[in-house]
Structure 1
Amino acid sequence: MTDFSRRAGLGALIALVATGGQGQAQPQATIRAEAGWSRAAGAGRTGAGYLTLRNGGAADRLVSARAEIARAVELHTHMHDNGVMRMRPVEAIEVPANGSVTLEPGGMHLMLLELKRPLNQGDQVPVTLVFERAGEVQLQLAVQSAGARGPAPAAHRH
């Protein structure tokens, strides 16, 4: 083997390892996060994130999320338990193929645990969503008033 072919082979091996064996082309995310919003909440408290996920490809699952403003972000749902509504963590949120799912008050949502600073009306809170297939998707939660029931109309514009 020549010195050139050894270097070329080594370079190809390094490229293969660095890209996880997928070559240089990375899959395009088929999931969009839209109309993200939250309600105002105090530092040290718990906040929530609501949004719509639109999937233009195969079925996927939201498996985690993170935000610098919170100690942790959990995926949650509301459940009836002996006539009482309770929030419970879920392992993942299914996003159907070529469909959508809405995270909203009284249903699936993100829980922002132990806020590091307050969520003030008018703030934009960056959140990273992690999907099983699509990878990471970034969005901004537009903070509404503490009693808001939905996103402000501007949150729907893209």
Structure 2
Amino acid sequence: MSIKSLLLGAAATLTMSTAAIADIVIEDAYARASGMNAMAGAAFMVIRNTGETDDRLVSVRSDASARVELHTHEIDGQGVARMVEVEEGFAIPAGGEHALARGGDHVMFMGITKPFEQDAKVPVTLVFEQAGEVTVEIPVDLKRMDGHGSGHGMKHGHKQHGQMTSD
């Protein structure tokens, strides 16, 4: 295989990857822990797929804790809610969105390496089937009590190459 063929193939792959990545937009992200000495925390956000192909958030990584998992809440037969790992991840439909919100689907941090302090940033890599890896810096908001749409306006799109922008 010639160098020219190899470079053209790599350029085509990069172009296709960039198009897929640009379709995922992370909005209104924030992280919380239950207190300064908490060993666990969670992150919430809205994941929007602006593309024409369904995608799926399949895993998450972060150096902020020993383990990071995708979780949801389930209600058992006695009406008791408990958190469980969602190994298959979360579907993000083409042209749609999926909210990770308190009391529902979320990113779970277990064995936090240092306290989640107000206004700090938690580095997180979201892994999608189609879009690949999306790295975001999620702001810690320990005061926030509501779900999404509180006007925080934080957005992250791959078109900004990893930068968060404010509305």
TM-score (norm 1): 0.81
8 Å CA contact 1:33–1:137 kept in 2: the answer is: no
Change (3 A) 1:72 1:155: farther
Residues 1-150 of structure 1: matches in 2 within 5 Å? Answer: 9-12=1-4, 15=7, 19=10, 23-27=13-17, 28=19, 29=21, 30-40=23-33, 41-42=35-36, 45-57=39-51, 58-82=53-77, 83-91=79-87, 92-145=89-142, 148-150=145-147
Select the structure of larger CA radius of gyration.
1
**Structure 2: gaps of 5 or more residues:** 155-165
TM-score (norm 2): 0.77
Change (3 A) 1:145 1:100: same
Identical-pair percentage:
36
* CA displacement at 1:31 relative to structure 2: 0.8
**Cα deviation digits, residues 54-89 of structure 1 (max 9, x gap):** 001111100011111111210001010121001110
Q: Distance in 1 between matches of 2:151 and 2:47?
A: 17
* CA displacement at 1:131 relative to structure 2: 0.1
* CA displacement at 1:23 relative to structure 2: 4.1
Give, as a single letter, the amino acid of the residue that structure 1 aligns with 2:115: P
**Structure 1: gaps of 5 or more residues:** 1-8
Change (3 A) 1:98 1:147: closer
8 Å CA contact 1:33–1:138 kept in 2: the answer is: no
**Cα deviation digits, residues 9-57 of structure 1 (max 9, x gap):** 342565478x4x9544242211111111111444560110100000011
8 Å CA contact 1:36–1:139 kept in 2: the answer is: no
* CA displacement at 1:113 relative to structure 2: 1.3
